[in-house]
Amino acid sequence: MGNRMRIAVNTGGGDAPGLNAVIYAVTMAAAQRGWEVHGIREGYAGLFDTSKIVPLTPERVAGIMDRGGTILGTTNKGDPFNRPHERNDGTIEFRDESDKVVENFKRLGFDCLIALGGDGSLGLAHRLSQKGLNFIGVPKTIDNDLAKTQQTFGFDTAVTTATECIDKLHSTAEAHRRIMVVEVMGRYAGWIALHSGLSGDADVILIPEIPFSIDKVCDRLMENEVRGKQHGIVVVAEGAKEAGGGLITKENVDVGRQEVMLGGVADYVAKAIHKKTGKETRSLVLGHLQRGGSPTTWDRLISLRFGAAAVRFIAEGKRNVMVAWQPPEMKAIPVTEVIGQTKLVSPDSDTIHTCRDLGISLGD
């Protein structure tokens, strides 16, 4: 391995606040070592169309650290093992073009890819590594559901945004003596709901890890009435399920998207609460607001640390690992120990106990 490396960086899956801070740190840490860095736009798309590869220099990344989104663009339909192609009759066929990605990566002379992604993107990087593409993964997702790292970047910003929104709901809920049911993101994990619901003083928090009963939810809300409080806040994770029920999903409208689209549980819960209690109930979905905006200081800091550690690990000769924050250190964890291992909220965790101690119902 020569001293002067040529590395690439890409961003895959849903965006998360902090992506640009990681790109900034990677670029600066590589430049310090005299290495070359190139950004691959839109996941792996840049490896099919080289006009989508952009040189990253300290000048190019100046001022991006605090910006949301990603200067490289991203996609959750960028699986090179299943690339959608439209046939003449308008139907779609999927082709495995992963060999082309690896071939182009090598032809362009890259030594290593820094892949910023969640479970799906890291899984793709792992499969490409089995064909010869070296990478270092950086754990990105607002959902905070990646194993082996205490936290992913983007999560703190999403929780902060959700908490601010919940804070704003209290006054309108109180004014109208209503129940407000707020749906937050998180896929199959309840981290965003739990942290924002607790910080935002919710009465009820529903998470995928604890199946809920509408009766229990209503019991808790009616306790408010006994105490003279006529309004209430329910925070529900998009992946929360009623005991004995299933996930609530939306129609998948994106060609090439593999994952189901979650959504609608707040509306379901709100209707059920109204039916049972007769109370005026409204639902709202915070949606992509949680992914937008500048990263919080915490997310910015951890993103910079993730990016710098990724470059350090490359310099140390590490490959096909994920940078994991295991306080106080950044560790290199084989990606095989991470992918497919959703990190869920433990029903026996301190945060859950804190909710119960404060009288917050988890719907069970």
Active-site residues, by number, are 143
CB of 31 to ligand F6P, least distance (A): 30
Under rule CB under 6 A, residue 128 binds ligand F6P: no
Query: Residues 76, 163, 277, 361: which binds ligand F6P (CB under 6 A)?
Result: 76
Give residues 10-49 in contact with ligand F6P (rule: CB under 6 A). Answer: 14
Which residue's entry shows tokens 């009435």? 225
Query: Residues 186, 197, 232, 363: which binds ligand F6P (CB under 6 A)?
Result: 186
Between 63 and 246, whose beta carbon lies closer to ligand F6P? 246
Give residues 305-344 in contact with ligand F6P (rule: CB under 6 A). Answer: none
Task: Name the closest residue to ligand F6P (Cβ).
Answer: 185
Between 125 and 185, whose beta carbon lies closer to ligand F6P? 185
How far apart (Å, rounded) are the C-alpha atoms in residues 336 and 352? 29
Under rule CB under 6 A, residue 125 binds ligand F6P: no
Q: Give the range of 181-189, 222-230, 332-340, 343-351 binding ligand F6P by CB under 6 A.
A: 181-189
Can you give the length of the chain in residues? 364
Question: Contacts with ligand F6P: how many residues (CB under 6 A)?
Answer: 13
Residue 116: other Cβ atoms inside 10 A: 34
CB of 154 to ligand F6P, least distance (A): 8
Query: Residues 128, 142, 198, 233: which binds ligand F6P (CB under 6 A)?
Result: 142
How far apart (Å, rounded) are the C-alpha atoms in residues 5 and 206? 48
How far apart (Å, rounded) are the C-alpha atoms in residues 204 and 181? 9
Under rule CB under 6 A, residue 143 binds ligand F6P: yes
Between 256 and 331, whose beta carbon lies closer to ligand F6P? 256
Q: Please list the residues that pair with 40 across neighbouring strands.
A: 10, 53
Quote the distance between the C-alpha of residue 347 and its chain's center.
21
**Closest CA relative to residue 79, chosen from 25, 133, 125:** 125
> In sequence order, which residues have a C-beta less than 8 Å from that of residue 136 and are 6 or more positions away?
112, 113, 114, 115, 310, 313, 314, 318, 319, 320, 321, 322, 323, 332
CB of 75 to ligand F6P, least distance (A): 9
CB of 250 to ligand F6P, least distance (A): 9
Query: Could you tell me if residue 187 is left (phi over 0), alpha (psi between -120 and 50 degrees) or otherwise beta?
Result: left
Under rule CB under 6 A, residue 187 binds ligand F6P: yes
How far apart (Å, rounded) are the C-alpha atoms in residues 191 and 185? 9
Under rule CB under 6 A, residue 194 binds ligand F6P: no
Give residues 198-257 in contact with ligand F6P (rule: CB under 6 A). Answer: 238
**Closest CA relative to residue 182, chosen from 171, 166, 200:** 166
Which residues are near ligand F6P by CB under 6 A?
Answer: 14, 76, 118, 141-143, 185-187, 238, 261-262, 291
